[in-house]
Structures are given as C-alpha cells and as structure tokens.
C-alpha cells in the first residue's frame, strides 16, 4: 500500500533538511559583497584565555575555544559534563579564579537544530560596510554565530541565549596562529599555568592574533555575547576578488574517457540492433565482432605470456634454444 510510504518520505525529507542546515558555514569561501575570504588555514580548535575582573569580589577565568571550520571534537579523557555538546563551534569554560575546577560550561555557538531547534545561522558582514564608524576604517569580515544557550538544555524563554561575534581583521604580517594556545593540557599543567598567568599574559598580549574583546550579557533579553578579534592575512581583501578557483569543469583526459565510452557504447548498441534486425542474431552473435570480443581473454593471456617470455629472455642466443 502506498500510504505507509509517506512517513518514510517525510522522515527522509526531515533528515535532508537537517543535513542542509548543518552545512551552514563554508570557511573555504566566506563571501560577502563580491569579496571572498578563504579562512581554511585557520581551521582546527583554537583556545584563548581571558580574565573577567569586572566584579570587585569575583574574578572569573575563562577559556574560549573556537573552530571556524567544523564542530569541536571531544577531548579524550575529559568528562562529557566538562565539555560543550556535539555540534559546538564556540565553547566557553569558566573557572573560579586560580582554581582549576570548572564552574560552568557555556555552549556559545553551534548547530543544535536537530535536537533543540537552534541553528548556527551565521551572519557575515564586511567590516567596511558596517554601520559602525569604528569598523569603517577596518578591512576584513565579521562572522556572527548563534545557537548557544546557558543552561544548554533549557527550553523556551528559560536560560540565556548566546552568540559569538568574531571579527577577522586584515593583518598582512600575521598568519593568525601567533600566540595560539592549546586547550588540551592536563589539569596539573592548567593549575601551573594559572599561577604564572599574569606574567605570561603581559608578555603574550601583543603577540596573540586571536583575542577576546569581551564576554557579557547584552540587550534587554540578556543574551550572552562573546566578542573576539582575529588578526590574520587571510582577512585581507583582494582587488577584484572573485570566488576561489574551484573546478568549473572536467579536464581533457576526463572528457576523452567519457567520449570514448559513449562512442564504444553507441557502436555496440547500434551494431547489436543491426545484427538483430538483419540477421535475427541472439546472445553473443548480437554484438559486432562478437567472435573477437569472446577471444579477448585468450588474446590477453597470449600477449601476457609473450611479454613474460621476452622479459625472462632467452639469453644471448637470439631466441634459439639450446639443443
């Protein structure tokens, strides 16, 4: 009956829509206003540590990790509760001052549409076209990412929505990986690093390409907004920029193979039809040169045997065998 097939069809459509929605940001071609930026050299997880000392009584230590090209992967040996959920692009880990113990895990941006109905929904803005006067003098691109929430599993209007605003600013002298920090250190290493944090921060501050500008609640709806700045040569515009060179067609060899295949197929089909209509042929007799085609395996075997005999050689006797 055709009716039971409908739910399967709908399920397939829903699965397809989820797949399409998951592919929402191509870091190899971030295009806006006829400018195209290839940010793929910045792929992979990148972490930056930031201190929030805005409160006189509490100092919060954050570690923000971002992967602009793909969801963050699980870290081996780390509890699930101490990491952001699957699909996260930007994750925040808060610790209390110098203590290595995790206070909270904040999924700031990611694609969670399948389970929670919250897509990544990237918004791309060319800095020169920004409404802000401060951005008008900058060269680069801003990417706004959504989907996060804290607490993460709160539904409806409960919890605080999150989003990340990452400004990729042109700096021809930087790859964008200068001062990069790994977030895969052991707990002992983290504790030691926290002790010398202040000194290291002063030394590295000017060298870091990826920096946290701020993380705070904004607007009447109290959305947690992470603002980051990433200086890199990959955010520099190119005059007359066009989309990255992608394969616009097949090469000569591919076309040659396709044409050869079509020619052989046409010849066999037409020849078979001709043999059938004229002579009423059946089976192998339908094919033009059927006898030759049937002999191909034997011809190849003889040819291979001849090649092997030539390679093994008959010495210096000129092909004559000893009597």
What pLDDT digit, counting tens, does each position of 202-226 carry? Answer: 555 568 899 999 999 998 888 999 9
End-to-end CA distance of the chain: 80
Q: What is the 3-state secondary structure (H, E, C) of the chain?
A: CCCCHHHHHHHHHHHHHHHHHHCCCCCCCEEECCEEECCHHHCCCEEEEEEECCCCCCCEEEEEEECCCCCCCCCCCCCHHHCCCCCEEEEEEEEECCCCCEEEEEEEEECEHHHHCECCCCEEEEHHHCCCHHHHCCCEEEEEEEEEEECCCCCCCCCEEEEEEEEEEECCCCCCCCCCECCCCCHHHHHHHHHCHHHHHHHHCCCCCEEEEEEEEECCCCEEEEEEEEEEHHHCCCCCCCCCCCCCCCCHHHHHHHHHHHHHHHHHHHHHHHHHHHHCCCHHHHCCCHHHHHHHHHHHHHHHHHHHHHHHCCCCCCCCCCC
Q: Which of 114, 120, 142, 145 is nearest to 130 (CA)?
A: 142
Give the burial string for 158-193 (b: 16+ CB within 10 Å, else e).
ebebbbbbbbbbbbeebebebebbebeeeeeeeeee
pLDDT range class, residue 87, cuts 50, 70, 90? very high
Residue 1 has pLDDT above 80, yes or no: no
pLDDT range class, residue 144, cuts 50, 70, 90? very high
Residue 3 has pLDDT above 50, yes or no: no
Residue 109 is predicted with a pLDDT of 94
What whole-number distance in Å separates Cα of residue 53 and Cα of residue 82? 23
The mean per-residue pLDDT over the stretch 131-156 comes to: 83
Which burial class, exposed, middle or buried, applies to 98 when counting CB atoms under 10 A from its CB (0-12, 13-18, 19+)? exposed
What pLDDT digit, counting tens, does each position of 251-299 carry? Answer: 778 888 999 999 988 888 888 888 888 877 777 777 777 777 777 888 8
Residue 315 has pLDDT above 60, yes or no: no
Q: Which of 47-56, 84-93, 284-293 has the highest mean pLDDT?
A: 84-93
Residue 85 is predicted with a pLDDT of 92
The mean per-residue pLDDT over the stretch 221-249 comes to: 78
Q: Which of 93-102, 131-140, 240-249 has the highest mean pLDDT?
A: 93-102
Q: Residue 112 pairs with which residues in a beta bridge? A: 118
Lowest mean pLDDT among 11-20, 43-52, 312-321: 11-20
The mean per-residue pLDDT over the stretch 228-240 comes to: 86
User: pTM higher than 0.75 for the full model?
Assistant: no
pLDDT range class, residue 96, cuts 50, 70, 90? confident
Residue 170 has pLDDT above 50, yes or no: yes
């Amino acid at each position: 009956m055709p009716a039971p097939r409908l739910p399967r069809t709908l399920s397939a459509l829903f699965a397809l829509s989820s797949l399409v929605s998951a592919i929402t940001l191509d870091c190899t071609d971030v295009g806006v206003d006829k400018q195209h930026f290839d940010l793929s050299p910045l792929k992979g997880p990148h972490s930056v540590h930031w201190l929030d000392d805005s409160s006189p009584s509490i100092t919060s230590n954050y570690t923000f990790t971002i992967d602009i090209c793909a969801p963050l992967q699980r870290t081996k040996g780390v509890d699930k509760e101490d990491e952001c959920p699957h699909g996260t692009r930007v994750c925040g880990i808060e610790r209390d001052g110098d203590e290595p113990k995790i206070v909270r895990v904040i999924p700031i941006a990611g694609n969670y549409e399948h389970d929670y109905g919250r897509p990544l929904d990237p918004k791309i803005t060319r800095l020169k076209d920004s409404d802000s006067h401060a951005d008008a003098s900058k060269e680069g691109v801003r990417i706004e990412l959504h989907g996060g929430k804290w607490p993460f599993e709160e539904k409806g209007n409960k919890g605080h929505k999150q989003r990340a605003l990452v400004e990729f600013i042109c700096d021809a002298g930087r790859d964008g990986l200068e001062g990069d920090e790994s977030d895969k250190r052991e707990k002992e290493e983290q504790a030691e690093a926290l002790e010398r944090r202040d000194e290291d921060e002063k030394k590295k501050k000017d060298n870091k390409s990826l920096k946290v500008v701020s993380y705070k609640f904004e607007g009447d709806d109290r959305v947690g907004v992470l603002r980051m700045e990433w200086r890199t040569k990959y955010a520099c515009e190119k005059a007359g920029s066009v989309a990255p060179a992608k394969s616009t067609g097949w090469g000569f060899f591919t076309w040659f193979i396709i044409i050869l295949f079509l020619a052989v197929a046409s010849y066999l089909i037409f020849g078979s039809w001709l043999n059938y209509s004229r002579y009423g042929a059946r089976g192998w007799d339908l094919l033009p040169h059927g006898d030759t085609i049937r002999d191909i395996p034997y011809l190849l075997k003889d040819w291979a045997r001849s090649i092997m005999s030539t390679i093994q050689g008959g010495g210096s006797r000129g092909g004559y065998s000893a009597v």
